[in-house]
Amino acid sequence: MDTGLILTLVVAFVAVVFGLEGLFLLWNNSRGPEVQRLQRRVRMISAGTHGQKTAELAKGRLGEGVGLVDRILLMLPRVSTLDRMIEQAGMDFGVSRILGAMAALFATTAFVLFLVRAPAVSIPIFAGMAATSPVVWLVIKRSSRTSALEAQLPDAIDLIARAMRAGHAFPAAVQMVGEESPDPLAAEFRIVHDEINFGLGMDEAFRNLSARVPSDDMRFFIIAVLLQRETGGNLAEVLGNIGTLVRNRFKLLGKVKVLAAEGKLSAWILGLMPIGIAMIINIMNPNFMSLLWKDPVGLMLVYTCAGMYVVGIFWMWRLIKIRV
Read off φ and ψ for residue 323, nearest 5 degrees. -95, 135
Contacts of 210 (CB under 8 A, 6+ apart): 218, 219, 222
Q: Does 24 reside within a domain?
A: no
CB atoms within 10 A of CB 72: 11
Asked whether 200 and 54 are in contact (CB, 8 A), the reply is: yes
Q: Residue 90: which of 123, 41, 49, 54 has the closest Cα? A: 41
Q: What is the pLDDT of residues 202-246, one digit of tens each?
A: 788 888 888 888 888 888 888 888 888 777 777 788 888 888 888
Q: Does 262 reside within a domain?
A: no
Q: Does 54 reside within a domain?
A: no
Q: From first to last of its 324 residues, what are the pLDDT tens digits of the chain?
A: 556 556 566 656 666 665 666 566 666 655 656 555 555 555 555 544 444 444 443 444 333 444 555 556 555 556 667 777 777 777 777 777 777 788 888 888 888 888 877 777 777 888 888 888 888 888 888 888 888 888 888 888 888 888 888 888 888 888 888 888 888 888 888 888 888 887 777 788 888 888 888 888 888 888 888 888 777 777 788 888 888 888 888 888 888 888 888 878 888 888 888 888 888 887 888 787 777 777 788 888 888 888 888 888 888 888 777 766
Q: Does 322 reside within a domain?
A: no
- What pLDDT shows up at residue 58? 42
SS (H, E, C) the chain: CCHHHHHHHHHHHHHHHHHHHHHHHHHHHHHCHHHHHHHHHHHHHHCCCCCHHHHHHHHHHHCCCCCHHHHHHCCCCCHHHHHHHHHHCCCCCCHHHHHHHHHHHHHHHHHHHHHCCCCCCHHHHHHHHHHCHHHHHHHHHHHHHHHHHHHHHHHHHHHHHHHHHCCCCHHHHHHHHHHHCCCCHHHHHHHHHHHHHCCCCHHHHHHHHHHHCCCHHHHHHHHHHHHHHHHCCCHHHHHHHHHHHHHHHHHHHHHHHHHHHHHHHHHHHHHHHHHHHHHHHHHHCHHHHHHHHHCHHHHHHHHHHHHHHHHHHHHHHHHHCCCC
Q: Please state the domain count of the chain.
A: 1
Q: Does 306 reside within a domain?
A: no
Domain extent, residue 230, equals 144-253
Contacts of 39 (CB under 8 A, 6+ apart): 62, 64, 65, 66
Q: Does 208 reside within a domain?
A: yes
Q: Does 100 reside within a domain?
A: no
Task: Residue 241: give its domain's CATH number.
Answer: 1.20.81.30
Measured distance CA(105)–CA(109) in Å, rounded: 6
Q: Does 46 reside within a domain?
A: no
Percent of the chain whose predicted confidence (pLDDT) is above 70: 74
